[in-house]
Structure 1
């Protein structure tokens, strides 16, 4: 879902007008047709007052460590969204859910001084080079709505 103003939201099936003071915190989930392939999500969040992207990620990682069993952050580095539209941070992590390790690759971008856009690849096995390539292609295909 994309917020076009403080009161309008466009999504795949249509467009709605939101009541005053509502914020878009939707999650788009994209599931594979074949078992074993990664799932992708796009989620939205907000920065705290005065917070920058790296501080937001640090805060989220602290929360993940507290609330997800076996949370491990493997890598964290710079990444680009679209054709060098926005620079953000990519991180790879894993945690244990229902006795099974879940692997994630996330790319986090600040759209402005308030809004955050998070792209996530999730899989029940370590992501392969093909999975990472697919995720990077997804990020590279991003364009803003006109």
Structure 2
């Protein structure tokens, strides 16, 4: 049996099962402003979304200099007229190559699965009110692709 795998440029037929671990990096053309990264992950057997987040935060703290998490807030994204993704908004900061980096991540669990979708917004400085509005518009614009 084959699965139809969609990418921005086209589709591939892949023998099942395949796990999607792709990363999409979306940056402003001029390189100024917020970059958006979309990643995928999966819960470990018996793991809750909250446990996944705690596990990931511990990993980040162990390898990122000056790592700080400023809490997590429940959040939902309306991904279709009938599907809402439940998750958490995380505000993180750390140093990467000596440069302060500020991130906001939204970690969401896909309905009826252990699959996760993670949206990350990164900037070299704290987010302005305009950046926050831009980021929220991007998050709220997410819709499931037909047939997904």
Question: Are the equivalent residues in 1 in contact too, given 2:93–2:101 (CA < 8 A)?
Answer: yes
Q: 1:6 to 1:61 in 2, by over 3 A?
A: farther
Q: TM-score by structure 1 length?
A: 0.90
Structure 1 residues not aligned, in runs of 5+: none
Aligned to 1:16: 12
Q: 1:131: Cα distance to partner? A: 1.1
Is 1:119 the counterpart of 2:119? The answer is: yes
- Give unmatched runs, 5+ long, in structure 2: none
Please give the root-mean-square deviation of Cα atoms over the aligned residues, in Å: 1.8
Q: How many equivalent residue pairs?
A: 142
Contact 2:37 2:119 in 1 (8 A): yes
Alignment of 1:1-80 (within 5 A): 7-80=3-76
Q: State the 4+ residue runs in structure 1 displaced beyond 2 angstroms.
A: 5-8, 18-22, 33-36
The structure whose residues are more often strand, as a share, is: 2
TM (normalized to structure 2)?
0.89
Are the structure 2 counterparts of residues 134 and 62 from structure 1 closer, same or farther at C-alpha, using a change threshold of 3 Å? same
